[in-house]
Amino acid sequence: MRGPAGRLADARPGTRLLPALLAAAGLLLLSASARGAAPPAASRPTAGGSASGAVRDAAAVTAVAGVTLSVSDLDRSVAFYEEVLGFREVAEDEREGEALERLQGVFPGHVVTARLALGSEEIELAQWLAPRGRAIPEGARSDDRSFQHLAIVVSDMDRAYARLRERRVAHASSSPQTLPSWNPNAGGIRAFYFRDPDGHPLEVIWYPPGKGDPRWQARDRLFLGIDHTAITVADTDASLRFWRDALGMRVAGESDNSGVEQERLNAVFGAHLRITALRSGSGIGVELLEYLTPRTGRPYPADANASDLVFTETRARVASATEAERSLRAARAAFVSPAVQPAPRRDGGEGRALLVRDPDGHAVLLFD
C-alpha cells in the first residue's frame, strides 16, 4: 500500500480537483422513516414542505451529489472504505493554488483526493498536504453540532455487523438497534453507528420489506449504497430557512424520536430528537437532527476549516452558482468563499462554485 507521498508522486500534473462535480444518480430521498418519520410528502401534506416561492429555480439545489471527508492518511482511508465497506475508487486528483485557496478558505492550500463509489452514490476523501488539519475534537458525540454522518444501506445487518466486528471498527452505538414497533413507519428497521479510522461517524442501516426505497431490497451485495447524510442542528426552523428557503430543498418527512433504542443508537442518554428529512431533485438526502434533549451538545468549532478532519462538505448542484450566491446573501448566510469562484469540470470545461456554511457551521459546496 502506498503512503501519501506515493499518491502525490503518481498524480498527474495536469489534473485538478473539483470536489463538487459528482453527478449523483437518481436516488429518491427516503422520508425520515428510518428514524420513525411520518410518511413522505407525496402521501402526506407537510407544513412548510416546499421551497420558498422567493427562491429562483436557478438558485435551488437540483441534486445533493455527496460529501467530502477530510482525512489524515488517504491510503489508509481508501483501504478502509474499499475493504471494509465495499466502495471502489474511481478517480484521484490533486490541486493547489489561488483558486483552491479562495474557494475553500485555506492558505496555503494543497490537497490530494480520491473519489469512491458505492452503488449509484459517490463520496470524496481529501487529504490536505498543506495546511495539515487538526483531529476531530476529543469526546465528539452525536449531539454535537459538528456531527455529520453517512447512512450506508446494507442487505443483511447481521452480516454487516459481523464484518465491522472482524475489522475492529470503533463502535459509536452499543450494537445494532431495531427501531420499535410502536412507530409503524420505522418498526423493524435496524441501524448501527460506528467510526472510520479518523473518527468520522458512519451508519449502516437495514430496511425490512415494505420500508424505504424499493431498491434497498436488493440482496446481490452486502453494502448497497448511500441513503442520506445527517447533520445535528440547534434549531430546525433556523436550519429550514437555510436549506429549504434559501437553497430550495423540500421537506420529505418529519419525526419525533425517543426511547432506549434511540439512546443506544446515538450513544446519548435521554436522546429525544426532532428529525426532518430534506430532498432535492436527485441525489442523497439531508436529515436535520435537532436534540430536544439533552441540550448539552457542543457548537461547531468556530475556527474549523476545510483541512480539519471535523470539516465535512455536503456537495450540492445548482443551475447557477451566481443566483445561489444572491439567494444566500439575501438570507445572510455565512460565506467561506469571498464570492463565486471558477472551478474545473470533469469534462474539461470550467464551472463555478461557492463554499458556505449553514446556521450551525456545516459546510455546503454549491456548484453549477
What is the H or E stretch that residue 255 is in? strand 250-257
pTM of the model: 0.85
Phi, psi (5° rounding) for residue 40? -65, 165
Rounded to whole angstroms, how far apart are CA atoms 287 and 149? Answer: 10
Q: Phi and psi of 285, rounded to 5°?
A: -90, 165
To which residue does cell 437518481 refer? 26
Confidence of residue 210 (pLDDT cuts 50, 70, 90): confident
Q: Which residue type, as a one-letter code, is found at position 189?
A: I
191: its cell numbers: 441501524
DSSP at 20 = T
| Environment class of 120 (CB within 10 Å of its CB; exposed 0-12, middle 13-18, buried 19+) | middle
For residue 254, the model assigns a pLDDT of 86
Q: Which fold has domain 4-24+60-135+310-367?
A: 2,3-Dihydroxybiphenyl 1,2-Dioxygenase; domain 1 (3.10.180)
The number of beta carbons lying within 10 Å of the beta carbon of residue 338 is 10
Domain 32-57+138-293 has CATH 3.40.50.10790: no
241 three-state secondary structure? helix
Strands 190-195 and 201-206: antiparallel
Q: For 39-61, what is each residue's pLDDT tens digit?
A: 333 333 333 444 444 566 888 99
Cα–Cα dist 234/144, whole Å: 9
pLDDT band at 198 (very low <50, low <70, confident <90, very high): very high
Under a CB-based contact definition with an 8 Å cutoff, are residues 249 and 41 in contact? no
Chain region(s) in the chain for CATH 3.10.180.10 = 4-24+60-135+310-367, 32-57+138-293
Nearest CA to 316 out of 251, 247, 226 is that of 247
pLDDT digits (tens, 9 = 90+) for 98-141: 999 999 999 999 999 999 999 999 999 999 999 999 999 999 99
Report which of residues 116 and 344 the model is more confident about.
116
Please give the pLDDT value at position 140: 94
pLDDT digits (tens, 9 = 90+) for 318-343: 999 999 999 999 999 999 999 999 98
- The helix (H) or strand (E) run that includes residue 240 is helix 236-240
Residue 115 and residue 163 in contact, taking contact as beta carbons nearer than 8 Å: no
DSSP strand pairing (88-96 vs 177-178): unpaired
